Each structure stands twice: as C-alpha cells, then as structure tokens.
A and B are shown apart, each in its own frame.
Chain A
Amino acid sequence: MAQNQRPKSLLDSLGEEIIRILTPVSICMLLVVLLVSILNSSSSLYVTSSIATIAYSETGSDSSWDKFIGALLNSLVFVAVVTVATFILVLFFYLKCSKFLKIYMGFSSFVVLGFMGGEIALFLIEEFSVPVDCITFLVLLFNFAVIGVLAVFMSKMPIIVTQGYLVLIGMLVAYWFTLLPEWTTWVLLVAMALYDLAAVLLPVGPLRLLVELAMSRDEDIPALVYEARPVTHHDSASRPVQTRIWRERQNARLDSEDSSSLNSDLNSTVSIVQSSHNGARIARVEEGQVSQRDAELSAPLIDHRMDAQDGLSTESLMLEGMGLGSSGAIKLGLGDFIFYSVLVGRAAMYDFMTVYACYLAIVAGLGITLMLLALYQKALPALPVSIALGVLFYFLTRFLLEVFIVQCSLNLLMF
C-alpha cells in the first residue's frame, strides 16, 4: 500500500527468513506429534533396545533415583558414541575419503527411509486396517526410498522435494527416538544440548574442528542440512540474492559408522553443514545424532527387539546447528529438527497441554538462536537454548500448570 520506493527494512526480510525456517520445523514437530498420538495410544509394553539403553533398561518398578542414574548412564554412553563418531568423521574428512562418506551416507539414508519408513507405514496400516497388498506396498516403498536418497544428496531435484524428504527423515528418526524410555529421553536431550554447546563452541570440539578444516580447504562438509529457500527481493536495487543460483549441495552426505559389535549397530548421524565460501557468511553445522538399531543375526523376533538386519549399520549424518548459506539462506541441521521433534513427541505422550507449551518454548528458543546468529555471524549450536526452554516448560507445565488448569476447569472457572 505504501510507495514501492520505501526501503525494505531488515525486519521484512528477516521475518520472511524466519518463517521459512520455522515452517519445516513446525511441520516436522506436527507430524511427530500426530504419529505419537496415533500409534502410542496403547501403552507399549516393550522397550526397544538400542545403544541408548545399553547401560540400563528402565522398567516400571524401579525407584526414581535408580531410573535417574540409569538414564544418566545411558545418556553418557550415547554422547560418548556420538563424540567418537564425530571424531571419526573429522578423521575421514581430514583424510579426504569423500567417496566413502558419500556412499555410506546414501546407504544410511536408504535404510532410514526404507526400513524405518516402512515400519512406520506398517504400523499405520495395521492401525487403520488399510487393505493394501504387499506388491503395491513394496513398489511404493521402493520408489519412496530411492527418490529420497536421490533427493537428499545425490541429484538435483525440485527444492520442495528435497526439503520435504529432509523433513520426513527428521520425522522418522525422531519418532524412533520417542520409543526410548521416558527418563532416558529427557536426560538424553539435556546431554545432547550440552554436547552440542561444547562441540561447537569449544576450540577442541569436533564440530568446530570440522568447520575449520572445511573452511581452510574451502570444501563443503558432508552433512544433512536443511537450507531454506533464499528470500528474493523485488526491489530494483535488489541484492544479488535474486539471481544467485541455489548452492550445489554436493557435500551433503550421510556419515555412518560401523559398529564392530555383533549385536548392535550404530546409526550415528553426524552432519555437518558447511556453507559459505564468501568470507562474511559462515555456515555452521553441527553434529548429528546417533540412532542405533540392534541387529539380530537370527530371524526376526517378535519380542521387543527391533527388526533384524544382519550387520547393518546405518548412520546418517544429521546436522545440528544453524548457519548462513552462501546465498544468505538460513541453514538448520537435521539433528535440530530431530531433537526438537523428540521433545515435542515425548511431551505428546503425556498430554497435549505440554505439547503446546513445549512448541512455544522451542519456537522462542529458535528465534533467540536466529537473533544470536545474526548478531555473531558464525555457526552456532541451535539445540541448547531451545532444549533448555523446552525441558523447563515441559516440567513446569506438567507439574504446576496442569493442576491449575484442571482445577479451574473442574470448577468451571476457565476452560
């Protein structure tokens, strides 16, 4: 309505960029909440075994202190595994084994999309008794997985397809994480936030090493990262963003690490995102998370183990952290998507009130991180602020707010 010549303020473009990164995060969280509320309506009696529960398997009858100690041990193991995986990634990157990393990442993402996606699809089919036959299902699943692998890092695809697949991968891994026992999940989230902080900001942190290595060599780091579409401006005196080509993401790779043990396969996702060749913008990538699956050498069991895959280790590199792309677009690591969604999914297992509170807390944290990013212009960990606020608000809501609201509703004061 105002004249066209009114100079665009920072607020216009910043708001647009924030929306473009908030939308996929919100969609991922929404999908995980939906999955959790559909599929977990019956309490599952079995606990999935994985690396995250290797130290201690939580059962319902332990005391709180035992559960807490067990969860702490589990998280320490997990963080240690992730650290080792990241250092191995740094090593591979240092030795320039890019082809190996790329193949491994492709393999991992195929397994994540194919097997985890297939399992969740089977859950949904059983839940709703969809009369689909196995031939159709297999064809569709195969297509879905192959195109996902191509879209995420092998070939150039429509931007919306790539973004959609990244969100789907985040959703699948996040749903898997919500199957962990409760105390373990919360302590794990806090531990990963602390690890993220350390790995990105400390000079000895693996992610920082990786970013510096990549910048000194002027290469791109292999990683899974979500890059928002750059904001174009319609001014005649527009910035060069308008004509800049979308950055070729040949470095997105998945990193996986082979576990040597018989019975556990590690899926470590470490992703590092690196961006910007221009000096001013720095891309930051963080390391991803580790998801593990236990592989049984025997036939698939019907008990609480996950489905058997002999000797498969899937690792995907996910990114945690934010940075600025070479075209100025904001990049957010896939690990961030995953851990935010895990938090909200776990909140959904309690009640929807906690979901709303945690969602708002996470979005606020993300906004703060974006502002810090604009302020410091370097790669920053995106997990700590959001996870801290999310966990805080979950416990406050669960223990304080709910009582208040329930009493108000029961006495017809406020609904």
Chain B
Amino acid sequence: MEASQSQASANAALNPHPNPNSNYTNNSNSILSSTPVWPTIDGPLGLSEEESLAYARRFYKFGYALLPFLWAINCFYFWPVLRHSRSFPRLRPYVVSSAIGFSVFSVILSSWALTFAIGGEHLFGSTWDQLVMYNVADRLGLTGWS
C-alpha cells in the first residue's frame, strides 16, 4: 500500500473529512471561494442539504430540553456551515444559535463546577459534603456492587 494513500485513508478512518472538497473531482468550485457541496462533516456519507435543514432545526429545538450536547453535536455535524460563512444560508442561523447556546451553557456549567471543586468546604461549608457526588452515592447506596 502506498504510504500516502494509507495515511490519507488512516486519517479518513479516524477523523471525519474536515474538508469535503478533497473527495471530489467536481471542479465547479473555484480555488478562491471553495464553497462546500455537502453541509455535514461526513461529506458524501452525510445528509443532503434539504435533510440537513430538518435535522439542524430539530437539534436546535431539542437542545432547549436541557440537552446542550445536542447543540454541540449540531455545531460539530454542520461544521462546514460554520466554517464557510457564506454557504447554506438557511442552515446557518440554527447552527450559529446552537454554537452560541452551547458556549453560554458551558460557561455557566463550568463556572459552577469549578467553583464547587475549587471552593470546596471553605466556600460552602457543610453543604459541600452533601452535594459532592461520592457522598451522595454512598448515601443512596448507588455503588452497591463492591
């Protein structure tokens, strides 16, 4: 197996194609604009543009049900939409809002988690012991295996 192909294939095996243009012999994109043909990160294996609209909208809406990971998945899946700012105008609002939602949520959650972890007992007093997970698990007997 030639080394270059094996490496490209190995990269393709483990990482989704970050640049869908590399797979196409379709030369309708000029070198300068490079608008991607496929809106998803999977390239030709992913969704077409019409289906993508439905998916992007659904992911965005369901993310409000305390599922910020769905927003993250939305951004990851439609990464070409985020990267090329003038492509897929119908998809872009959903993906951008998902990105904003995910960042806001992760800021809130990480600040709370870090405060909890770093502040510890000094800050919270006795409630730290009540809130921390390993005590909760012991109290409720959740790890009754061993």
Contacts and interface: CB of A to CB of B under 8 A. Distances in A.
Interface of A: 1-2, 11-12, 15-16, 19-20, 23, 42, 44-46, 48, 118-119, 122-123, 125-126, 129-137, 139, 142-144, 146-147, 150, 155-161, 179, 229-232, 234, 236, 242-246, 299-307
Interface in B13-41: 13-16, 23, 25, 40-41
Nearest to A144: B69
B144 A300 contact: yes
B142 A300 contact: yes
Contact of A229 (B45, B58, B73, B144): B45
B120 interface: yes
B9 interface: yes
A334 B40 CA distance: 26
Contacts of A245: 44-45
Interface residues of B, number: 52
Given A12-B5, A44-B145, A246 B46 contact: yes
B64 interface: no
Contacts of A304: 144-145
B1 to A, nearest CB: 5
Given A122-B133, A158-B77, A245-B45, A301 B5 contact: no
B133 A132 contact: yes
B39 to A, nearest CB: 12
Nearest to B63: A143
Contacts of B67: 142-143, 146-147
Given A2-B2, A157-B73, A158-B40, A246 B133 contact: no
Contacts of B41: 158
Interface of B is mostly: helix
Interface string B57-85: 01000000011111001001100000000
Nearest to A232: B23
6 contacts: A16-B10, A119-B142, A122-B142, A122-B143, A133-B116, A133-B132
B100 interface: no
Contacts of B47: 156
B131 interface: yes
Contacts of A134: 131-133, 136
A51 to B, nearest CB: 16
Nearest to B65: A146
A242 B13 contact: no
Given A133-B116, A179-B145, A236-B25, 4 more contacts: A48-B145, A125-B133, A242-B23, A304-B145
Nearest to B69: A143
B107 interface: no
A23 B12 CA distance: 13
A160 B16 contact: yes
Contact of B145 (A46, A131, A155, A230): A46
Given A229-B45, A242-B23, A300 B131 contact: no
A126 B144 contact: no
B66 to A, nearest CB: 7
